[in-house]
């Protein structure tokens, strides 16, 4: 069997680490060609020692120089790069078959576009590529002939629950139902959310994730972004997308068909499951995750998103449908605002409950310009960030 040659963008993050854990279980199937990271030099060095990639990319020149020196001292064969276009070069390299896109935020858009245009097998863990890129990104996938496979647990579950032939989806699907855990504040009084600390917001009850996505889970903005991503991934209308709170995180999402039957994907809350499926599709390989034991499984419960104070608890969720129905580029504005707002909260510049205020104000202020390419998308992203930062300064605690 010919090995898949793999590039992991964001290899020192949660998704990147889980990807390499799966890959290490199948040395006969995968070869790690390239790894990229932001600033974690020692973590990258350890990965280079274990997987011996041909290229390692760091986000800044000082971190790249530090890594290069340590790699030289250990006599490793890895070349270190830090050029402005290094991520795009890795993602589109002829030496790479499969790209795991696990860079958090809009920073992952350019390399995702490069991988799509180069016709790669693109494992999309960076939901912002679709949220920001929208039709621009989908056009690159079509024109490049890329294979786009979702890695978010919810979108992987939907993909696994759909018919094999995408041409039949429109005639057979009634709606897609994404599940949400509700995060750490599902039962907390909405009026008390102004007191939430970054440490509390990052303590997810089910999943081990990075700080940004953990905060997004606490506000339910991650689910808003997932609704947007599902609209583009699966070609459904906003009216065909629904969200239900499922605290146990066992059912990862569902597809309801025209005959009212529902197909769902279940599994333990372990990101290695969707990662292994994306790496091996259409086959399945061992992931390292524990199996569900139905004899000891707790009750599976569900709550409507508009019940029990959830509208007040998660005001940002409705912005997904508003953005999808708005002008082209509205979703990119929402994503940029949220990245700025979450960063400000983590730096204790604004309160937890003010994240939504920043997102709301930015959507109201920034007029999208129907972006038709990467440059226009980045310009819109910059304008939205500037507006969001201005609101953060007004709200600063």
Domain end call among 133, 151, 169: 151
- The answer to whether residues 168 and 306 belong to one domain is yes
Q: Is residue 126 part of a domain?
A: yes
Q: Nearest to residue 100, comparing CAs of 47, 42, 139, 168?
A: 47
As annotated, the binding site includes 12-15, 38, 126-128, 152-154, 181, 204, 210, 217, 222-223, 226
Burial of residue 107, with CB atoms counted within 10 A of its CB: 0-12 exposed, 13-18 middle, 19 or more buried: middle
Tokens found for residue 274 = 């969707």
Q: How far apart are CA 335 and CA 324, in angstroms?
A: 12
- Structural domain of residue 254, as residue ranges? 157-269+301-395
Write b or e for each residue in 157-176: b if 16 or more Cβ atoms lie within 10 A of its Cβ, otherwise e. bbbbbbeeeeeeeeeebebb
Q: What is the CATH number of the domain that holds 23?
A: 3.40.50.720
Q: Is residue 257 part of a domain?
A: yes
- The answer to whether residues 24 and 144 belong to one domain is yes
Q: How far apart are CA 239 and CA 177, in angstroms?
A: 11
pLDDT of residue 397: 66
Total-model pTM: 0.92
- The answer to whether residues 202 and 313 belong to one domain is yes
Domain end call among 151, 177, 199: 151
- The answer to whether residues 122 and 13 belong to one domain is yes
- The answer to whether residues 342 and 226 belong to one domain is yes
- The answer to whether residues 66 and 195 belong to one domain is no
Q: Is residue 38 part of a domain?
A: yes
As annotated, the binding site for NADPH includes 12-15, 38, 126, 128, 210
Q: Is residue 282 part of a domain?
A: no
Query: Would you call the peptide bond into 298 cis, given omega within 30 degrees of 0 as the criterion?
Result: no
- The answer to whether residues 185 and 49 belong to one domain is no
- The answer to whether residues 42 and 174 belong to one domain is no
End-to-end CA distance of the chain: 58
Tokens found for residue 123 = 């494992």
As annotated, the binding site for Mn(2+) includes 152, 154, 226
Question: In this predicted model, what pLDDT tens digit does every residue of 156-193 receive, in sequence order?
Answer: 999 999 998 888 898 899 999 999 999 999 999 999 99
As annotated, the binding site for 1-deoxy-D-xylulose 5-phosphate includes 127, 153-154, 181, 204, 217, 222-223, 226
Task: Indicate the number of domains in the chain.
Answer: 2
pLDDT tens series, the chain, 397 aa: 789 999 999 999 999 999 999 999 999 999 999 999 999 999 999 999 999 999 999 999 999 999 999 999 999 999 999 988 999 999 999 999 999 999 977 778 999 999 999 999 999 998 878 999 999 999 999 999 999 999 999 999 999 999 988 888 988 999 999 999 999 999 999 999 999 999 999 988 877 778 888 999 999 999 999 999 999 999 999 999 999 999 999 999 999 999 999 999 999 989 999 999 999 999 999 999 999 999 888 789 999 998 888 999 999 999 999 999 999 999 999 999 999 999 999 999 999 999 999 999 999 999 998 888 989 999 999 999 999 999 999 998 6
Q: Angle of helix 374-395 relative to helix 355-365, nearest 10 degrees?
A: 130
- The answer to whether residues 224 and 146 belong to one domain is no
Please check whether residue 5 is in contact with residue 95, taking contact to mean a CB–CB distance below 8 angstroms. yes
Q: Which residues contact 192 (CB under 8 A, 6 or more apart)?
A: none
Q: Nearest to residue 290, comparing CAs of 274, 277, 276, 272?
A: 272
pLDDT of residue 164: 87
Q: Is residue 76 part of a domain?
A: yes
- The answer to whether residues 209 and 247 belong to one domain is yes
Q: What is the CATH number of the domain that holds 386?
A: 1.10.1740.10
Q: Is residue 293 part of a domain?
A: no
- The answer to whether residues 116 and 176 belong to one domain is no
Q: Is residue 137 part of a domain?
A: yes
Sheet holding 147-150, edge to edge: 79-81, 55-58, 30-37, 4-9, 98-101, 121-124, 147-150
Domain end call among 99, 128, 151: 151
The dihedrals phi and psi of 132, each to the nearest 5 degrees, come to -85, -45
- The answer to whether residues 196 and 327 belong to one domain is yes
């Amino acid at each position: 069997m010919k090995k898949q040659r793999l590039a992991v963008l964001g290899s020192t993050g949660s998704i990147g680490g889980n990807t390499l854990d799966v890959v290490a279980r199948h040395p006969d199937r995968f070869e790690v060609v390239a790894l990229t990271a932001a600033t974690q030099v020692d973590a990258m060095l350890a990965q280079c020692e274990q997987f011996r990639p041909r290229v390692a990319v760091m986000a800044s020149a000082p971190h790249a120089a530090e890594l290069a020196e340590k790699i030289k001292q250990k006599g490793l064969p890895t070349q270190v790069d830090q050029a402005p276009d290094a991520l795009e070069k890795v993602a589109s390299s002829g030496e790479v078959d499969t790209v795991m896109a696990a860079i958090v935020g809009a920073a992952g858009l350019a390399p995702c576009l490069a991988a799509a245009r180069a016709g790669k097998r693109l494992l999309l863990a960076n939901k912002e590529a679709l949220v920001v890129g929208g039709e621009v990104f989908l056009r690159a996938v079509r024109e490049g002939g890329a294979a786009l496979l979702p890695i978010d647990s919810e979108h992987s579950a939907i993909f696994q629950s759909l018919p094999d032939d995408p041409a039949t989806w429109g005639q057979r699907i009634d709606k897609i139902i994404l599940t949400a855990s509700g995060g750490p504040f599902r039962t907390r009084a909405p009026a008390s959310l102004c007191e939430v600390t970054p440490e509390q917001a990052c303590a997810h009850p089910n999943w081990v994730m990075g700080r940004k996505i953990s905060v997004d889970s606490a506000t339910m903005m991650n689910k808003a972004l997932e609704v947007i991503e599902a609209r583009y991934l699966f070609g459904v209308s906003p009216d065909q997308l629904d969200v239900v709170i499922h605290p146990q995180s066992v059912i990862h999402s569902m597809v309801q068909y025209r005959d009212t039957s529902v197909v769902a994907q279940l599994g333990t809350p372990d990101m290695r499951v969707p990662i292994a499926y994306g790496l091996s599709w259409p086959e399945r390989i061992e992931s390292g995750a524990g199996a569900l034991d139905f004899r000891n499984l707790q009750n599976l419960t569900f709550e409507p998103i508009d019940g029990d104070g959830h509208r007040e608890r998660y005001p940002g969720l409705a912005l997904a449908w508003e953005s999808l129905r708005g002008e082209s580029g509205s979703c990119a504005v929402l994503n940029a605002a949220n990245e700025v707002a979450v960063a400000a909260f983590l730096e204790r510049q604004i309160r937890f409950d003010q994240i939504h205020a920043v997102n709301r104000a930015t959507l109201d202020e920034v007029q999208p310009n129907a972006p038709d390419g990467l440059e226009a998308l980045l310009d819109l992203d910059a304008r939205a960030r500037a507006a969001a930062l201005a609101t953060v300064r007004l709200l600063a605690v």
